[in-house]
Amino acid sequence: MTLVAIPLSAATPDDLLALSAKAATTGADVVEWRLDTCQKKGADLSAIIAAIPRSPLPVIATCRHPDETGDWVGSETARLALLAAADAAGAAYIDCELAQAEGLATAPKARLILSSHDFQGPGTDLPGKIQAMRAVGHRLGIPVIAKVAITARDAADLTIIRNLLVHRDGDVIALAMGEHGLPSRLLAGVWGGFLTFARLDGDGGSAPGQPTVGDLLGRYRLKSQTANTRILGVMGSPISHSLSPHIHNAGLAQDGVDAVYVPFRVENAVDFWNACGAWIHGLSITIPHKEALLPLATVQEAPAKAAGVCNTLWWDAGVLSATNTDVEGVAHCLGNIRGKTVLLLGAGGVARAVARIVSAGGGTLLVCNRTLDKAEALARDFQGRAITLEDAQRTPYDILVNGTSVGMKAPADTPWPFPHRPDSLVFDTVYVPLETRFLKEAAASGAKTVDGLQLFIAQAAGQYRRFTGRGTAPEDLMRQVARHHLQG
Ligand code: NAP
Each residue's pLDDT tens digit, 91-148: 999 999 999 999 999 999 999 999 999 999 999 999 999 999 999 999 999 999 999 9
Instruction: Give 458 Cα–ligand 1 centroid separation in angstroms.
Output: 18
Tell me the pLDDT tens digit for each residue of 134-187: 999 999 999 999 999 999 999 999 999 999 999 999 999 999 999 999 999 999
- The one catalytic residue in 147, 180, 289, 332 is 147
Is the CB of 408 within 6 Å of ligand 1? yes
pLDDT for res 456: 97
Q: Is-contact 51 19, C-beta < 8 A?
A: no
Instruction: Give 406 Cα–ligand 1 centroid separation in angstroms.
Output: 7
Q: What is the pTM of this model?
A: 0.94
Tell me the pLDDT tens digit for each residue of 298-309: 999 999 998 888
231 pLDDT more than 80: yes
Position in ligand 1 atom list of the atom nearest CA 460: 40
- The one catalytic residue in 180, 248, 289, 290 is 290
Longest dimension (CA), the chain: 86
Other Cβ atoms closer than 10 A to 138: 11
- The one catalytic residue in 36, 157, 326, 451 is 326
pLDDT for res 243: 96
Tell me the pLDDT tens digit for each residue of 386-403: 999 999 999 999 999 999
Is the CB of 416 within 6 Å of ligand 1? no
Amino acid 196 reads T
Sign of the CA dihedral 61, 6, 4, 149? negative
Tell me the pLDDT tens digit for each residue of 473-487: 999 999 999 999 998
Helix extents (H) in 293-369? 302-307, 325-334, 349-360
Q: Give one DSSP letter per residue of 35-53, joined into a string.
A: HHHHHHTT--HHHHHHTGG
Position in ligand 1 atom list of the atom nearest CA 454: 41
Sorting pLDDT into bands at 50, 70 and 90, what band is 240? very high
Across the range 40-66, mean pLDDT stands at 98
Percentage of the residues of the chain whose pLDDT score is greater than 70: 100
Is the CB of 430 within 6 Å of ligand 1? yes
Strands (E), 135-241: 145-151, 172-177, 195-197, 230-236
206/97 Cα distance (integer angstroms): 16
Residue nearest to atom 7 of ligand 1 (CA): 404
Is 117 one of the catalytic residues? yes
Size of the chain in residues: 488
pLDDT for res 207: 73
Tell me the pLDDT tens digit for each residue of 197-223: 999 988 877 777 799 999 999 999 999
The reply to whether 244-323+457-486 and 334-450 are identical in fold is yes
Give phi and psi for 240, each to the nearest 5: -65, -20
Which among 447, 461, 360, 444 has a CA at the least distance from the CA of 401?
447
Domain boundary assignment for the chain: 3-225, 244-323+457-486, 334-450
Across the range 342-365, mean pLDDT stands at 95
Sorting pLDDT into bands at 50, 70 and 90, what band is 460? very high
Q: Is-contact 415 346, C-beta < 8 A?
A: yes
Contacts of 132 (CB under 8 A, 6+ apart): 98
Long-range contacts from 475-483, C-beta under 8 angstroms, 24+ separation: 477/247, 477/250, 477/251, 477/254, 478/247, 478/248, 478/250, 478/251, 479/453, 481/243, 481/246, 481/247, 481/250, 482/243, 482/246, 482/247, 482/453, 482/456, 482/457, 483/434, 483/453
- Across the chain, mean pLDDT equals 96
Instruction: Give 429 Cα–ligand 1 centroid separation in angstroms.
Output: 9
Is 440 one of the catalytic residues? no
Tell me the pLDDT tens digit for each residue of 9-39: 999 999 999 999 999 999 999 999 999 999 9
H/E element, 19: helix 13-26
- Top CATH class, 244-323+457-486: alpha beta
3-225 CATH, one of 3.20.20.70, 3.40.50.720, 3.40.30.10, 3.40.50.300: 3.20.20.70
Is 147 one of the catalytic residues? yes
275/283 Cα distance (integer angstroms): 14
453/416 Cα distance (integer angstroms): 19
159/155 Cα distance (integer angstroms): 8
Q: According to the CATH classification, is domain 334-450 in 3.30.499.10?
A: no
Is 290 one of the catalytic residues? yes
Distances (CA, A) of 58 to 48, 49, 93, 97: 14, 13, 8, 20
Instruction: Give 369 Cα–ligand 1 centroid separation in angstroms.
Output: 10
Is the CB of 461 within 6 Å of ligand 1? no
407 pLDDT more than 90: yes
